[in-house]
């Protein structure tokens, strides 16, 4: 036996709340004309009081979704969820790559150039003899024999002219090879003679500090004595070293938390040390210098308010870096191997220091 339950409560004149097994609805109106709403939709009810005659029309029904549309909506929702998760994952990967970049600049360096070896390098061939390209072209001419088709179409002279042009081109190629070699030797001699213009040209061509500049570090340098370079690393943005940690939650959502102060300060120190070591390595690789002095300028963290000045200064001799395994070192600890000035507190950060003395 089906049991029905329905109760109507008057809330205000013309407004009633209807309670049934399937939920709660509301109706407004007067006898003979009312509008009722429920989870199933909105109905217009009209009737003639006292006659038992009435009619109900649904004017707004509950919208139903066909299975195909429901499946489409489900797939779209999954795609949006996956896109959000992929974006979060990429953000974390980018963050981790950035942090790794901050502390690994010292690992990469330009391949060292042996300027003395270049200056003494022999010519590719004797200038009193024919070059290899000319010799090869000449041998081709000697071996040329007119074919039947050459004779038939009367193009023997045309073939000979083409071979002569080949010979002239080969001679020009050999001369270019000699000219390039003379230029290399001349450049090497100027570099070894401490020509400042040539040194600047070498640095401009190789762009060795591009990684540092992408991290908002500005590198300038000057040659103060033959064989001695003084470089400045200016930290142009304090936002280069992140103060928050990005990670993924178990559900794949992005989590951003403030980095512990000690961890941030250690990361900042490693960033400074890694950049300074990279600068020293590049100068030793590209130029015949024996001493590189590097000063880093930025804002101190251990004083309030922060002051701008020298955070770390070090002097490195060429012989001190020759046997270092750069991929295995702790860059901050390695700086302490060399003559340096640094005041770094693990809980407060850098204090300003004086530059190391010049030789």
> CA 275, CA 287: separation in Å to the nearest integer?
18
Q: Which residue has the higher pLDDT, 248 or 152?
A: 248
Q: Is 226 or 245 the better-scoring residue by pLDDT?
A: 245
Write the CA distances from 255 to 19, 227, 247, integer angstroms.
45, 50, 5
CB 328 within 8 A of CB 341: no
> What are the structural domain ranges in the chain?
7-61, 81-110+208-350, 117-193
**pLDDT confidence bin for 60, thresholds 50/70/90:** low
Distance, in Å, from the CA atom of 218 to the CA atom of 236, rounded to the nearest integer, reads 7
Sheet strands side by side (includes 308-317): 217-225, 228-235, 291-299, 308-317, 339-345, 349-351
What percent of the chain has pLDDT above 70?
Answer: 95
Q: What is the pLDDT of residue 283?
A: 98
Give the model's pLDDT for residue 78: 87
Q: Which of 298, 305, 304, 306 is nearest to 240 (CA)?
A: 298
Strand, coil or helix: 353: coil
Residue 61 confidence (pLDDT): 55
Q: What mean pLDDT is predicted for residues 314-324?
A: 95
What pLDDT, on a 0 to 100 scale, did the predictor assign at position 2? 56
pLDDT at position 33 is 76
CA angle 327-273-344, nearest 5°? 130
267-312 per-position pLDDT tens digit: 999 999 999 999 999 999 999 999 999 999 999 999 889 999 999 9
Query: Percent helix, strand, coil in the chain (nearest 5)?
Result: 40, 30, 30
Residue 167: in which H helix or E strand, if any?
helix 156-192
The pTM of the full predicted model, rounded to 2 decimals, is 0.75
């Amino acid at each position: 036996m089906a049991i029905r339950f329905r109760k109507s409560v008057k809330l205000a004149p013309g407004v009633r709340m209807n309670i049934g097994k399937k939920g709660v609805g509301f109706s407004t109106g007067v006898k003979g004309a009312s509008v009722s709403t429920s989870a199933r939709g909105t109905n217009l009810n009209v009737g003639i009081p006292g006659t038992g005659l009435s009619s109900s029309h649904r004017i707004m029904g509950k919208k139903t979704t066909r299975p195909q549309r429901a499946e489409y909506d489900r797939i779209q929702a999954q795609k949006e969820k996956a896109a959000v998760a992929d974006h979060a994952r990429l953000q974390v990967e980018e963050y981790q790559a950035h942090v790794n970049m901050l502390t690994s600049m010292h690992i990469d360096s330009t391949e060292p150039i042996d300027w003395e070896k270049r200056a003494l390098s022999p010519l590719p061939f004797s200038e009193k003899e024919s070059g290899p390209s000319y010799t090869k072209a000449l041998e081709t001419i000697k071996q040329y024999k007119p074919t039947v088709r050459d004779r038939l179409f009367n193009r023997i002279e045309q073939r000979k002219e083409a071979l002569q042009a080949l010979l002239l081109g080969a001679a020009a190629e050999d001369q270019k090879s000699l000219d390039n070699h003379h230029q290399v030797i001349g450049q090497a001699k100027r570099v070894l003679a401490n020509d400042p213009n040539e040194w600047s040209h070498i640095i401009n061509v190789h762009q060795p500090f591009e990684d540092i500049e992408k991290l908002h570090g500005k590198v300038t340098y000057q040659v103060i004595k033959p064989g001695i370079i003084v470089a400045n690393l200016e930290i142009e943005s304090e936002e280069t070293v992140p103060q928050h940690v990005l990670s993924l939650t178990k559900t794949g959502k992005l989590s951003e938390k403030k980095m512990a102060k000690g961890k941030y300060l250690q990361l900042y120190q490693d960033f400074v040390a890694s950049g300074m070591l990279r600068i020293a390595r590049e100068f030793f690789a590209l130029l015949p210098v024996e001493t590189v002095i590097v000063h880093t300028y930025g804002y101190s963290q251990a004083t309030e308010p922060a002051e701008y000045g020298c955070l770390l200064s070090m002097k490195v001799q060429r012989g001190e870096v020759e046997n270092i395994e750069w991929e295995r070192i702790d860059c901050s600890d390695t700086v302490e191997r060399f003559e340096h000035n640094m005041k770094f507190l693990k809980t407060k950060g850098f204090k300003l220091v004086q530059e190391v003395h010049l030789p």
